[in-house]
Chain A
């Protein structure tokens, strides 16, 4: 099999500009871009991490800080494309060379511990576009929780990159096909939270070759249209497939627990006993046992509490007035499961905080149950706090049945690297040795080898994977006289 040479470049960004590494100084480049991390390529919410490594001549680069951005670009036959964008996580220098390992932005997102408001009946992800409102501080914000977490981690929508040229990374989201009644995050590992949401509602999160972190819904798994065709001569002698098949008579079982906002009641009551010195500003993170839909605040000021929420007194027992003149002022920042209270002492003497009582509308569990799709030995879908109704559970087990309950071949082979063939692209595969002709396939993994001359591709048989174009879609499209499918 002839191997075409590839041109490549690696750049890094220690400050505000990209710096190219000398081409001749580079060697041993490997890049891995998977869409899913587990055994089954269509698994929802599977942890997939993009990574790359390369070795460079020692004097070509000084030691860099962790998370310093790197990007790798390949070109072949006049087609140029990014193969990886990530951040430094490991640097090993010896006497002549330095090996650099980079990871995608999953790690950065994972280090983000975000507290969100409680979102009511919102898709877990909303479609990003040039006009979508992604900034949570915008009064019209209606984006999904995955969008929120990406933003809190520093990401900005790829379609609006011109507005945020210095963003640490960019993200792109499909509209999720389902939503829980209530969704929120409470300081969890943000990447893990995103994967849990994708697992519960359906979808995958991965980093594309251009560095954009992607949430795609199940209808995007099989790509928009066929863009390549591989046949004899297009794959190496290592062509093989793994037969991924469900067990005989498997079914899928999903537990759910309803969630509902309860009437206003006490949601926090503690006696901190802290002393606030004169002129001091102290911040308290008040963690609530249950998430809240709303917190009771002062009627005229949504970021302050009612006067009876705080019991604050001077040492002689006299109450401290809520005033800049001889008293205290405070503000609250409200999320679903944490209220951050900031108090400033404007009095001329210290005081104590004797009691903090918060009232709100807690989101409490209601009745639970389970749903099953199929018959026979049941495989349980991991429980999630975001599966909150029987109808939702019935939909998710159906999705699992469609995507995981069908036998599929996952093809693996080495071929000349083609930068135009990206993860998520759809095409056809013909392998005469197996009698396969124009089998629809989707690229699920790329592993660049020999400095980008070759690539180990993994492709999944896409037969029967639903695509959006088969359905009646909500919107303005005219379907007069047509026959199509309805979704779940």
Chain B
């Protein structure tokens, strides 16, 4: 249950206690906070950087992990949805497994959406391990992974017990302020807070560095995934840094296969970028997202190092107009004098805001009705160990509790510090944080919980990164 602090009350009838301005103002603020929380920026769903898995297809054994995801289990979960696009090379198929048990298969090319039936027994360590295993592959197939994922999530169990919002009456026979109404407002607020805050929110992988191209005129993929459009105000936001070495190269973004952004031409150097791109696909749906690097020209004097793109979680967020905010009633002055009609209208406004929040969050199942998966990093060759530094779970703090299942995991926050390159492998870039703390031991797979309030300077809205072998990491409220 989410813990709400500084709540007014408790309220008791007929003990000569006034309706307090601070109590009513606290209810107004609570309603506005919940209204604001009912709009949520959503990270793009990470299908996987092609650099991570392209070798698989080209040099693969007869079966290999096409994609791997983890989802934290909450009691009552019975369905996992997996959706994407399967571009077969030849005759291979895909086995969709949860905790190693096949739940479904993909046997034909094209778009797919599978609903898997699961239970708690499929999550013995508290997480679902969802693997899409490509079977009977051909090493002569395409260089690229045949699977492009659009979604992997568990359906949230339907909560019950919505108490409904109270109504304060103006009737000449009953214009009163009963304790039950105030208590009901608090119950409603708690229900909404639990609904929004108790939902585990998995961290998505930041691309700390992705080597994307070499001295060749070509277009190479940087990132693939899916971007959701959940509110009419949503746009796609791409933040990151490009360290380029080609004479001329630029970044291109495609949504649903169509180019929606062509960046400026970059000459060799380092620059940050923050791009806002309009989204036009259907509300509530996800569209495929690709970020590409296009080398337009090379020169004999170019550095031969691979250009690198650093992408922090890509996400949908409000455009410059922002998400709408509820119209708040005026705050009350302590010891202020008011008519009964004004006080009643104020309290009914609070009720209305909360009712609207309920309507908004329960109808937005894509945001609040699903626990979205975290993509796992994986490699089947030793040189893929460098993946551990390329892609790291990164989040922006909303909650106060972080749960991590992994081995040798450390949390970093504050500005990232790039370490000096390793001897013998100058292309591998490692980071440290201004602040850091060990989370999981290095000698075993374990599940640990951190209370984020205990970490100095890791305030709400601050980004943080997990380094190490992370199987799953998610945030919620205690």
Contacts and interface: CB of A to CB of B under 8 A. Distances in A.
Contacts of B270: none
A394 B22 contact: yes
Nearest to B174: A478
Interface in A445-488: 466, 468, 471-488
A483 B334 contact: no
Contacts of B20: 177, 486-488
Contacts of B16: 127, 174-175, 217, 219-220, 468, 473
A472 B18 contact: yes
B38 to A, nearest CB: 24
B6 interface: yes
A418 B6 CA distance: 47
A131 to B, nearest CB: 12
Contact of B343 (A121, A391, A472): A472
A402 interface: yes
B1 interface: no
14 contacts: A127-B12, A391-B26, A471-B18, A473-B16, A473-B18, A474-B17, A475-B14, A475-B15, A477-B176, A479-B176, A483-B338, A483-B340, A484-B340, A487-B334
Given A466-B335, A471-B19, A487-B334, A482 B340 contact: yes
Contacts of B333: 486
Contact of B177 (A127, A217, A468, A474): A474
Interface string A110-136: 000000000001110011000000000
A483 B332 contact: no
A391 B179 contact: no
B443 interface: no
A472 B175 CA distance: 11
B422 interface: no
A389 interface: yes
B284 interface: no
Interface in B288-339: 332-339
Contact of A476 (B11, B22, B172, B178): B178
Nearest to A480: B175
Contact of A480 (B170, B179, B332): B170
B339 A483 contact: yes
A96 interface: no
Nearest to A394: B22
A390 B335 CA distance: 19
A127 B15 contact: yes
Given A486-B18, A486-B19, A476 B176 contact: yes
A174 B6 CA distance: 23
Contacts of A177: 17-18, 20
Interface residues of A, number: 41
Interface in A167-183: 174-175, 177, 179
A474 B338 contact: no
A84 interface: no
Interface centre among A174, A220, A485, by most chain B C-beta atoms within 10 angstroms, is A485
Interface in A355-404: 389-391, 394-395, 398, 402
Contacts of A390: 6
Contacts of A127: 12, 15-16
A487 B18 contact: yes
B444 to A, nearest CB: 22
B19 A472 contact: yes
Given A174-B16, A488-B21, A475 B335 contact: no
A175 B176 contact: no
B451 A263 contact: yes
Contacts of A123: 10, 12
B171 interface: yes
Contact of B336 (A260, A263, A389, A486): A486
Interface in A201-224: 217, 219-220
A175 B338 CA distance: 23
Interface string B170-191: 1111111111001000000000
A212 to B, nearest CB: 18
Contacts of A487: 17-21, 334-335
A260 B17 CA distance: 26
A146 to B, nearest CB: 14
Interface of A: 121-123, 126-127, 174-175, 177, 179, 217, 219-220, 260, 263, 389-391, 394-395, 398, 402, 466, 468, 471-488
A393 to B, nearest CB: 11
Contacts of A398: 334
Given A477-B176, A480-B171, A486-B338, 15 more contacts: A123-B10, A179-B10, A389-B6, A391-B22, A395-B22, A474-B17, A475-B13, A477-B14, A482-B340, A483-B337, A484-B337, A485-B18, A486-B20, A487-B17, A487-B19
B33 interface: no
B24 interface: yes
B478 interface: yes
A124 to B, nearest CB: 12
Contact of A478 (B15, B175, B339): B175
B19 A391 contact: no
Contacts of A217: 16
A472 B337 CA distance: 10
Contacts of A483: 337-340
A-B complex: 3 closest residue pairs judged by Cβ atoms: A487-B18, A471-B18, A175-B15
Contacts of B442: none
- The interface residues of chain B, by DSSP majority, are classed as loop
A118 to B, nearest CB: 16
A179 B173 CA distance: 32
A478 B173 CA distance: 7
Nearest to A399: B334
Contacts of B5: 260, 389
Contacts of A263: 451, 478
Contacts of B334: 395, 398, 486-488
B13 A474 contact: yes
Given A398-B334, A466-B335, A473 B26 contact: no
B336 A488 contact: no
A447 B20 CA distance: 37
B335 A472 contact: no
Contacts of A219: 16, 18
Contact of A475 (B7, B170, B179, B341): B179
Contacts of A481: 172, 175, 340-341
A470 to B, nearest CB: 9
Contacts of A391: 6, 22, 26
A488 B17 CA distance: 11
A394 B26 CA distance: 13
Nearest to B451: A263
Contact of A175 (B6, B17, B173): B17
B315 to A, nearest CB: 30
B9 interface: yes
A77 B340 CA distance: 46
A264 to B, nearest CB: 12
Contacts of A485: 18, 335-338
Nearest to B182: A474
A37 B319 CA distance: 63
Contacts of B12: 123, 126-127, 175, 474
A474 B18 contact: yes
A183 B9 CA distance: 15
A482 B26 CA distance: 24
Nearest to A132: B15
A284 B174 CA distance: 56
A473 B338 contact: no
Nearest to A477: B176
Contacts of B15: 126-127, 174-175, 474-475
A424 to B, nearest CB: 14
A475 B10 contact: no
Contacts of B178: 474-476
Contacts of B21: 486-488
A44 B170 CA distance: 37
A5 B326 CA distance: 71
A59 to B, nearest CB: 50
